[in-house]
Amino acid sequence: MVMQTMQIRLTNGLINEIKILVDLGIYPNVSEAVRDSVRMLVTSKETPKGIPPAREEEIKTIQEKIQKEVKEQFQNPKGTEDYYPEEMSIRNKVFDVLRKNALKFGFLEVDSPVIEDLDLLKAKQGDEIIKQIFITEKKGDEELALRAEFTPSLARMFIAKQKAIPKPVKWFCINRVFRYEKPQAGRQREFFQFNVEIYGCSKPEADAEIINLSIESLKSLGLNEKDFFVKINNRKLIQGLLSEIVEEKQLEDVMRIIDKRKKISEDEFNSELEKIDITLDQIKKIKIFLDSKINNLNPKNELAKQGLKELKEILKLVDKKFIKVDFSVVRGLAYYTGTVFEISDTKEKFRSIAGGGRYDNMIELFKGDKTPSTGFGMGYSTLRLLLKEKGLLPKEDIGVDYYIAIVNKDVKEKAFEIAFNLRKKYRVDIDLMQRNLGNQFDYANKIKAKNVIVIGPDELKKGKIKIKNMKSGKEAEKAIEDINV
Amino acid sequence: MVMQTMQIRLTNGLINEIKILVDLGIYPNVSEAVRDSVRMLVTSKETPKGIPPAREEEIKTIQEKIQKEVKEQFQNPKGTEDYYPEEMSIRNKVFDVLRKNALKFGFLEVDSPVIEDLDLLKAKQGDEIIKQIFITEKKGDEELALRAEFTPSLARMFIAKQKAIPKPVKWFCINRVFRYEKPQAGRQREFFQFNVEIYGCSKPEADAEIINLSIESLKSLGLNEKDFFVKINNRKLIQGLLSEIVEEKQLEDVMRIIDKRKKISEDEFNSELEKIDITLDQIKKIKIFLDSKINNLNPKNELAKQGLKELKEILKLVDKKFIKVDFSVVRGLAYYTGTVFEISDTKEKFRSIAGGGRYDNMIELFKGDKTPSTGFGMGYSTLRLLLKEKGLLPKEDIGVDYYIAIVNKDVKEKAFEIAFNLRKKYRVDIDLMQRNLGNQFDYANKIKAKNVIVIGPDELKKGKIKIKNMKSGKEAEKAIEDINV
């Protein structure tokens, strides 16, 4: 059983009362008593066994008090995350790498409001995401909600400038999206997405550009072909080929089942297809297609021909060592019209790291002029998990270059002046607490300061300061001018 | 009348119908007809005058159709902002400067969830902000809402680590907060705040550190003492001195009126004070205090003495050319307990750029152990206005270093390879559209590419490429190796 340490705050009075429970032998120790209170709070279980009946009421009262105190501490809502300095520094560094990389590919960063009209967010009808939209309580007539993905907002922004802006438009954004699910393990209600779009280009070059950017994004974080791969397919190809095997009206269901193929057994796959009246002969043909090599395909169907041509064209322009053609990649039923791709860790241990493809009807769906579009989304959560597993999380960067220790109040003003000058170039902290020197060094050590500068009256008279390197422990005396670089 | 150009999309059918209205002489031109439709939509006015009665119905139908189309385009909700690349680049640059500067002062960046428990956001009771909280529609029992400021969330985060973390804690964050007001000119519902906190230090050094950071933040964006100044006061000083003049129960109202002094006339100030039974003699004393020089103050009251001492101590540690002691700065009635300060543009043309101070009871309010705290908030909107007025907005940075033009499809793969290599170092775009060379140059020009590299079969044979500098117009031929730095 993996335990996590957390801080709780209880009054002395309550702790004394818990101790009564321990003394009674009902709990082995105070911690277990608190844990059990919390368990009961969560599961609404009965009070523990073995309580002398005469004291049941008394004990119940104590437990209720403990529960109340634990409950009364403010917590972040389930599915949200507090970014403390270490984690924030890592997030900033990862996003900086993604940003710089996207800029190198000629994409420009944009950002949409968090709050959007509910109608916009609902326009992609039939989508699973719609059920998870955070809607705000109305004041007046507007129906407002929180963005649950970037596609609708960026489409709206593109459409507003559609006539004037030179095409293709290459945009990206990195920010939070929101999904309101009931709290359950591992489901986040706020999370970060790196979202990339090309509007106004129907050519396979645009799909290749998108795929190359997704690969380079991961490579620039230190991941390589041993860590991840890109599964690629084309919806025209698969739809075209399947329409030679099954009936038009079965197509959607067949694709839905193909999408699940990797997650279910061979038998389940067969029986699901049989359930929608696909014959054994048809199933055999579907499998032959799914397991084909791309070079062995020779479709007669026009749609499939077009899809195959696009796929082959893309393969010429991307780094093949990351690519695996996989005809079972369908990416749900939503709006994809051509290229589809997914990035997974090599062992497919985590959820997809990224996914995307071409959706040429999307801009029209949001009431713009028909515009070919392609793009992808990459979630920070899975990316972070993979980076962590591979030991590739950027090093947090939280320690200041210099901590300025102040020997006494006579040199305080001079110390602040030295800090002021050093801060033009370095990260500098300074004693704000009027603490003694030992406590100042202790604090400097805890906040991971790289060097401590000691400002004292004797040294100042000589125009000198003492510097201690906190890693090596070496001390040196320097002229003040020498550190004011 | 200042007009702004906007794009609207109307069907040909509708445009033809508008033309009927113009032909009828009801509108001078198509634009005016559309404008009037929108006006009616907004103000629910009647249809325009001068319509032949026989055609009123017909015209009304046409106008309704136009209104519907304009309305049907998705817009960003009122009070929110779309960040297109230019504006996004500026926002990123300003925030980068603020971030780097805060790090140099030894502050560490944190971020809280956008979504918080409503109870947390309401804990600072009596606050004006509470009325403006965005509450989300419930699913289940949780009452969730959007952060309207950072103080509650950061307090919660601090309290969760309060026992373990070395004090003082120096944190900052730069992100969005949300306030749900009815749409009105200039009021934003989503906006960015730079928020800075020091927890666990009761000394004036911490207030000085906060004020110095706020000043340096603006200086590092290019603003100087001609552009802004810091008004500083101390709540202990003003409360102590006023309590020698007025009764305890009048104190709050008197401070509220003092807070408004700069915005109202002398007569209004007097009459507001008289309304709460302050005598003319008392008013005279209040004014003498408000207009005093700090060095002429000699309070007997202990609280005032303490406040004056703090204020003088801070003045020793800050850059005096930015500072103005102003006893009328009160910063509302909410939770400030000592130092208070506000930053304004020199002409006080805009709303405050920043404001903050000491709130030693704040952490307790959020159920933590009592912890002295000081901090400030700076809004991006006003800051941006001031930077713009002073010509100090960072230059947007959107043009790629190289645009790669492709002469024909035979060299496409090689062109992508060159792009791939160049992107290790430079920002590079490449033709994705299979356009002719003229159109490629046209696009490169529109997206502000700094150089265009032309990849053609003849040059490639010689291992060369052509580069054109788009500013100077100069062309050069280079070896491929020479650009693959």
Which residues 432-461 in chain B show a CB within 8 A of chain A? 432-434, 443, 446-447
Residues A381 and A409 occupy one common structural domain: no
A296-306 pLDDT, tens digit each: 999 999 999 99
Mean predicted confidence (pLDDT) in B418-436: 96
A369-380 pLDDT, tens digit each: 999 999 999 999
pLDDT confidence of B385, banded at 50, 70, 90? Answer: very high
Q: How far is CA B453 from CA A223, B67, B405, B447, in A?
A: 30, 48, 6, 15
> Residue B83 has what DSSP assignment?
B
- Confidence at residue B42, expressed as pLDDT on a 0 to 100 scale: 45
- Confidence at residue B44, expressed as pLDDT on a 0 to 100 scale: 45
- pLDDT at residue B426 is higher than 90: yes
A2 domain-assigned: no
- pLDDT at residue B396 is higher than 50: yes
Residues B64 and B202 occupy one common structural domain: no
pLDDT confidence of A29, banded at 50, 70, 90? Answer: low
- Confidence at residue B57, expressed as pLDDT on a 0 to 100 scale: 73
Residues B144 and B52 occupy one common structural domain: no
pLDDT confidence of B218, banded at 50, 70, 90? Answer: very high
Write out chain A residues lying below 8 Å of B168, CB-based. Answer: 432-433
Closest chain B residue to the Cα of A181, Cα to Cα: B139
- pLDDT at residue A147 is higher than 70: yes
B397 domain-assigned: no
A425-460 pLDDT, tens digit each: 999 999 999 999 999 999 999 999 999 999 999 989
Mean predicted confidence (pLDDT) in B15-19: 69
Mean predicted confidence (pLDDT) in B69-91: 89
Which residues 241-280 in chain B show a CB within 8 A of chain A? none
Residues A324 and A408 occupy one common structural domain: no
CA distance A268 to chain B (A): 35
Residues A262 and A359 occupy one common structural domain: yes
Residues A369 and A422 occupy one common structural domain: no
Is-contact B228 B353, C-beta < 8 A?
Answer: yes
Write out chain B residues lying below 8 Å of A208, CB-based. Answer: 416
CA distance B205 to chain A (A): 5
Residues B141 and B233 occupy one common structural domain: yes
Name the residue among A369, A424, A432 with its Cβ closest to that of B205.
A432
Mean predicted confidence (pLDDT) in A350-358: 94
Interface test with B, best of A99, A115, A413 (most B CBs within 10 A): A115
Final residue of a structural domain among B344, B360, B389: B389
Closest chain A residue to the Cα of B82, Cα to Cα: A112
What CA–CA distance (Å, rounded) separates A201 from B39? 37
B474 domain-assigned: yes
Mean predicted confidence (pLDDT) in A345-349: 93
What CA–CA distance (Å, rounded) separates B313 from B82? 45
The verdict on a CB contact (< 8 Å) between A73 and B136 is: no
A480 or B477: whose pLDDT is higher? B477
The verdict on a CB contact (< 8 Å) between A115 and B427 is: no
The verdict on a CB contact (< 8 Å) between B117 and A209 is: no
pLDDT confidence of A102, banded at 50, 70, 90? Answer: very high
- Confidence at residue B1, expressed as pLDDT on a 0 to 100 scale: 37
- pLDDT at residue A109 is higher than 70: yes
Final residue of a structural domain among A49, A72, A95: A72
A395 domain-assigned: no
B329-349 pLDDT, tens digit each: 988 766 899 999 999 999 999
Across A55-64, A183-192, B161-170, the highest mean pLDDT is recorded for B161-170
pLDDT confidence of A185, banded at 50, 70, 90? Answer: low
Residues A356 and A421 occupy one common structural domain: no
B134 domain-assigned: yes
Mean predicted confidence (pLDDT) in B208-236: 97
B65 or B190: whose pLDDT is higher? B190
- Confidence at residue A332, expressed as pLDDT on a 0 to 100 scale: 75
A283 domain-assigned: yes
Worst-scoring range by mean pLDDT, A248-257, A355-364, A408-417, B163-172?
A: A248-257
- Confidence at residue B103, expressed as pLDDT on a 0 to 100 scale: 97
Is-contact A101 A151, C-beta < 8 A?
Answer: no
On average, the pLDDT of chain B sits at 88
Residues B368 and B443 occupy one common structural domain: no
* Structural domain containing residue A54: 12-72
Mean predicted confidence (pLDDT) in B213-239: 97
- Confidence at residue A263, expressed as pLDDT on a 0 to 100 scale: 85
- Confidence at residue B61, expressed as pLDDT on a 0 to 100 scale: 74
pLDDT confidence of A124, banded at 50, 70, 90? Answer: confident
| A230: CB partners within 8 A, 6+ apart | A211, A214, A215, A318, A322, A323, A324, A341, A342, A343
Residues A339 and A240 occupy one common structural domain: yes
Which residues 316-335 in chain B show a CB within 8 A of chain A? 316-317
B395 domain-assigned: no
Write out chain A residues lying below 8 Å of B77, CB-based. Answer: 113, 115-117, 142, 144
Taking the Cβ of residue A85 and every Cβ of chain B, the question of whether any pair is shorter than 8 Å is answered with yes
On average, the pLDDT of chain A sits at 88
% of chain B residues with pLDDT over 90? 72
Q: How far is CA B11 from CA A407, A412, B17, B70, in A?
A: 77, 72, 10, 11
SS3 B78: coil
Mean predicted confidence (pLDDT) in A38-62: 60
> Could you tell me the CATH number of the domain that includes residue B449?
3.40.50.800
% of chain B residues with pLDDT over 70? 85
* One-letter identity of residue A368: G
- Confidence at residue A305, expressed as pLDDT on a 0 to 100 scale: 96
What CA–CA distance (Å, rounded) separates A309 from A240? 13
Name the residue among A92, A109, A446 with its Cβ closest to that of B85.
A109
Closest chain A residue to the Cα of B155, Cα to Cα: A74
- Confidence at residue A237, expressed as pLDDT on a 0 to 100 scale: 95
What CA–CA distance (Å, rounded) separates A257 from A294? 21
B199 domain-assigned: yes
β-bridge partners, A446: none
- pLDDT at residue A355 is higher than 80: yes
pLDDT confidence of A72, banded at 50, 70, 90? Answer: confident
Which residues 341-400 in chain B show a CB within 8 A of chain A? 366-367, 369, 398, 400
Indicate the number of domains in chain A.
3
- Confidence at residue A335, expressed as pLDDT on a 0 to 100 scale: 80
Residues B337 and B472 occupy one common structural domain: no
- pLDDT at residue B420 is higher than 70: yes
SS (H, E, C) chain A: CCCCCCCCCCCHHHHHHHHHHHHCCCCCCHHHHHHHHHHHHHHCCCCCCCCCHHHHHHHHHHHHHHHHHHHHCCCCCCCCCCECHHHHHHHHHHHHHHHHHHHHCCCEECECCCEEEHHHHHCCCCCHHHHHCCEECCCCCCCEEECCCCHHHHHHHHHHHCCCCCCCEEEEEEEEEECCCCCCCCCCCEEEEEEEEEECCCCHHHHHHHHHHHHHHHHCCCCCCCCEEEEEEEHHHHHHHHHHHCCHHHHHHHHHHHHHHHHCCHHHHHHHHHHCCCCHHHHHHHHHHHCCCHHHCCCCCHHHHHHHHHHHHHHHHCCHHHEEECCCCCCCCCCCCCEEEEEEECCCCCCCCEEEEECCCHHHHCCCCCCCEEEEEEEHHHHHHHHHHCCCCCCCCCCCCEEEEECCHHHHHHHHHHHHHHCCCCCEEECCCCCCHHHHHHHHHHCCCCEEEEECHHHHHCCEEEEEECCCCCEEEEEHHHHCC
The verdict on a CB contact (< 8 Å) between A110 and B76 is: no
Structure tokens at B244: 């020698």
The verdict on a CB contact (< 8 Å) between A111 and B89 is: no
The verdict on a CB contact (< 8 Å) between B434 and A140 is: no
Name the residue among B108, B120, B366 with its Cβ closest to that of A398.
B108
Closest chain B residue to the Cα of A198, Cα to Cα: B432
Final residue of a structural domain among B389, B418, B444: B389
Residues A22 and A150 occupy one common structural domain: no
> Could you tell me the CATH number of the domain that includes residue A259?
3.30.930.10
Burial of B434 (0-12, 13-18, 19+ CB in 10 A): middle
Write out chain A residues lying below 8 Å of B212, CB-based. Answer: 416, 420
Write out chain B residues lying below 8 Å of A358, CB-based. Answer: none
Which residues 186-205 in chain A show a CB within 8 A of chain B? 189-190, 198, 201, 203, 205
pLDDT confidence of A45, banded at 50, 70, 90? Answer: very low
